[in-house]
């Protein structure tokens, strides 16, 4: 791996950390400041997202070319839950198939901007970006 490739890979993982940290703070803002109760699916996505804020820096200092090995599974797991949540919100999966028995129904949208941007979509975009960055970093490092 050339120094340049390593630099690029480091930058990609760092960008991934930015995404994870911003998502985590955003999620905390929704629940703790705006006091929107997170639904069950949101909690599962949080379980995948929050650890990345701590795990990714461990791969950055010192740079670990294998960081994707342990970060990507989290990003992929979160991505799957986010995809499911997005389909639920879009109505492609019927609500009763969802795991929400009590509390906040996962199919209920609490926030909507510009008519289509909602929290599940933000989550899905964040996990997709994270996964893409980690995959890219992996191939950069492998070169």
Partner 1 sequence: MSKKSKRNKSAREIPAATAPAAATAPAPAKSVSRKGLFVGAAIVLIVAFVVATLLYTSEKQESSRQLVQQNVEALASAHSPAKGPPDARVHIVEFLDPACETCADFYPEVKKLMAEHPGAIRVSMRHVPFHKGSEHVVRILEAARGQDLYWQTLEALFAAQDRWTINHAVHVDQVWPALRGVGLDQERVGREMNGADIATRMERDMADAKALNVTKTPEFFVNGRPLPRFGLKELRDLVNDEVRKPARGPGS
**Do the beta carbons of residue 101 and residue 71 sit within 8 Å?**
no
**Do the beta carbons of residue 127 and residue 75 sit within 8 Å?**
yes
- Binding flag, residue 97, partner 1 (CB under 8 A): no
- Binding flag, residue 58, partner 1 (CB under 8 A): no
- Minimum CB–partner distance for residue 83 and partner 1 (Å): 26
- Binding flag, residue 14, partner 1 (CB under 8 A): yes
Stretch that binds partner 1, among 20-28, 75-83, 92-100, 124-132 (CB under 8 A): 20-28
Among 47, 58, 111, 142, binds partner 1 (CB under 8 A): 142
Rounded Cα–Cα distance for residues 42 and 30 (Å): 11
Among 8, 55, 60, 132, binds partner 1 (CB under 8 A): 60
**Do the beta carbons of residue 136 and residue 12 sit within 8 Å?**
yes
Rounded Cα–Cα distance for residues 42 and 133 (Å): 22
CA dihedral 140→55→66→127, nearest 10 degrees, is: -50
By the criterion CB under 8 A, which residues form the site for partner 1? 1, 3, 10, 14, 17-18, 21-22, 25, 28-29, 33-35, 57, 60-62, 65-66, 69, 102, 141-142
């Amino acid at each position: 791996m050339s120094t340049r490739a390593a630099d690029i890979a480091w930058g990609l993982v760092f960008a991934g950390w930015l995404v994870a940290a911003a998502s985590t703070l955003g999620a905390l803002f929704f629940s703790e400041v705006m006091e929107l109760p997170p639904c069950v699916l949101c909690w599962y996505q949080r379980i995948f997202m929050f650890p990345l804020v701590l795990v990714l820096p461990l791969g950055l200092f010192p740079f670990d070319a294998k960081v994707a090995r342990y970060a990507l599974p989290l990003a992929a797991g979160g991505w799957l839950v986010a995809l499911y949540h997005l389909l639920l919100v879009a109505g492609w999966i019927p609500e009763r198939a969802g795991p929400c028995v009590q509390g906040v129904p996962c199919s209920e949208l609490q926030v909507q901007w510009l008519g289509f941007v909602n929290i599940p979509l933000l989550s899905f975009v964040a996990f997709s970006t994270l996964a893409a960055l980690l995959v890219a970093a992996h191939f950069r490092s492998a070169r």
